[in-house]
Structure 1
């Protein structure tokens, strides 16, 4: 999960659908990016950052997952 994305969205009081619409993405696509199931391309990063009123910084899109997820993904 991309904790910074989720926390910022919640801080702004926005739903995934609202951020997706502002970003030009589908809700499903945005959800997959926020949950860390897919990687955003550069234009998606910029669009999401604008929708969330943050600087388009790659560190904002870093995944945070627990040990179990890391073990599964490295197998």
Structure 2
């Protein structure tokens, strides 16, 4: 089975070794067909505490690491300053 990967924006890094990543998903409304943006937040494991708020990161699904944490950071795509890390 393939491992799921998502790209999202870090919205909080206040926890130790954990960041909260918001992933946007664009879907068509079932009845009206208008494109609606749905946002879901994931708690993600960040071993080295490298992620900062505003970073765009790639996350990957993993085994349960805690009660709510089932994802880990694979790489930082872009930083808040706009450059690559």
Normalised by the length of structure 2, the TM-score is: 0.23
Larger radius of gyration: 2
More strand by share: 2
Higher relative contact order structure (alpha carbons within 8 Å, sequence separation ≥ 6): 1
- With normalisation by structure 1, the TM-score equals 0.24
